[in-house]
Structure 1
């Protein structure tokens, strides 16, 4: 087993509630021919130092079960160990990672959404036009940075220009309940797929589900997927790094499917190995919803170049055994 640190510069800084992030730091965990990635993100996972401690502890274990147990309470670390285990087993069985996860059908590619940041109406339309011309059929528009009415106008303009586009909005818990209700009311005729995490807290989400379609993102990590399903959300956004691994994210996805709720695979601006794993996770699901995985372009430099390129609104599932990118760390 081995633990290798990395630091990757972002093409543009990432603004989070915990502050500005200009590079993504993490670790590759390699064992028995498999590789996994741990890329902690403040506010979503354990700290970088706590992640390293958990991985160093796991590195001393002889069995996968003991290595995984060493990472309890450190979701990014557990993600790395779990992914390495799945990758090693898939390679040994000569099959792709999505098959090792339990995927029952052949899958060559998964659909992904484009993300449009905050801008005025003109800027939003321009960004959506670029995404549509690139082949995206689903676009997520970031909202919450300006007045509710102004954000509603942005979505109205997009819907008028692109009546068949699958359209999502993401507020990143920026609103209180009154603001969220106002936005849901104002956009009720726009056929939005959902508004992602309009308010903080699963109880507040539950009170909004009668107003319009809402999705849980942060609340999946904070309260658990079962609480979000009980709240009546339309979709759950699943970020394997924050949930403690591909295996746990897949369990959450099937809990959602069993409840008639859409699981949407996403990521926490992860590097190449974790993004590849998330693509395999989406590929392992029946009829996966467009995933939030078109984030490779956020990196100025990655662990593996062009590991999950987006073409015409899809990412091809990496071909080969295991996660099928870059070989195994240490090879």
Structure 2
């Protein structure tokens, strides 16, 4: 899919405007207790370049394109003044669920991580049951990050469905697997809708999942898709309901997700943009955490996503990690430059 890209600044310009931070998390998430990010200041504001450490340069380059869009071009006009968000419960023991939920404040939707390596279906059932007990009326969705086989997904979702699932996000890896799970659930009369995440944001062709009839809705993230404008185009061409989510970003990165959600013509589901509540610290004075289940949009969003110089200094990454990120920035810049 071709998409006009903003002007790519010179690498020297990016290097001069880069700040590398490391912030602590409240709970372990995706196997880490700290989150590193490279932040870029440009003429339009700030952008975040924070692909997960294991991602290769080709995939990570899309995250850089998103950061450049945010900092050098800015975001499209918002069509709503605030964005509804869900709470996110990592793969914690059921006894910690209420503690995690407390950081989000009042919310009407919760996403629960399941299929964690080293855990069992019993762990998932206990965690989901604890969320349902704490919030009896909340919309409840689970996210397996592709961790189940087809057979495991069908079995697990059959047992989880009585809790009233809104949908299951990426229960298995791959588009063919999603289509098979969706068909088997329908065959068994299990009314759980399927959402595609990795099969959209990690795919060479993000629209293939829609053409294959493999999902009922898609989960989109601004950074992995190359920016807000490209994500908007993917949603439009996919023709499926979209849920906007984040990638454990600081408030700078969360602003891109909120801008995407604020610009979508339709937003039928609460978004996975409340993950700022999982951070024990942030780089802005007033972090983008849910307020009565919402994040701001428009001018208020821009104000809340501007880093504080003192916090940038406080959470600056060690020198060797700054060098690592700048080297990664250089490699990803070369990938983008070769494509222009």
What is the TM-score with the length of structure 2 in the denominator?
0.72
Match of 1:38 in 2: 49
Match of 2:206 in 1: 225
Q: Aligned to 1:139, which of 110, 113, 124?
A: 110
Aligned equivalents of 1:280, 1:119: Cα separation in 2 = 30
| Aligned: 1:214 with 2:203 | no
On the 8 A contact 1:112/1:290 being kept in 2, the answer is: yes
Q: Aligned to 2:221, which of 231, 236, 239?
A: 239
- Secondary structure class of the residue paired with 2:288: coil
Match of 1:250 in 2: 232
On the 8 A contact 1:280/1:323 being kept in 2, the answer is: no
Map 1:124-163 onto structure 2 (within 5 A). 124=97, 126-127=98-99, 130=102, 134-145=105-116, 146-152=119-125, 154-156=127-129, 158-159=131-132, 162-163=135-136
Match of 2:66 in 1: 79
Q: Aligned to 1:299, which of 262, 279, 294?
A: 279
CA deviations over 1:210-232 (Å, ceiling 9, x no partner): 21322111221222431221243
Structure 1 residues 233 and 273: CA distance shift in structure 2, 3 A: same
On the 8 A contact 2:47/2:69 being kept in 1, the answer is: yes
Unaligned runs of 5+ in 1: 51-71, 88-96
- Secondary structure class of the residue paired with 2:67: helix
Aligned equivalents of 2:109, 2:24: Cα separation in 1 = 24
- Range moving further from structure 2, 182-191 or 208-217: 182-191
Map 1:1-331 onto structure 2 (within 5 A). 1-2=13-14, 3-12=17-26, 14-16=28-30, 20=32, 22-30=34-42, 32-44=43-55, 46=57, 74-87=61-74, 97-99=75-77, 103=78, 105=79, 107-124=80-97, 126-127=98-99, 130=102, 134-145=105-116, 146-152=119-125, 154-156=127-129, 158-159=131-132, 162-210=135-183, 211=185, 212-223=192-203, 224-229=205-210, 230-256=212-238, 258=239, 261-288=240-267, 289-319=269-299, 323-325=302-304
CA shift for structure 1 position 312: 0.9
The alignment covers a number of residue pairs equal to 283
CA shift for structure 1 position 139: 0.7
Aligned equivalents of 1:182, 1:275: Cα separation in 2 = 34
Aligned-residue CA RMSD (Å) = 3.1
On the 8 A contact 2:84/2:294 being kept in 1, the answer is: yes
What is the TM-score with the length of structure 1 in the denominator?
0.74
- Secondary structure class of the residue paired with 1:240: coil
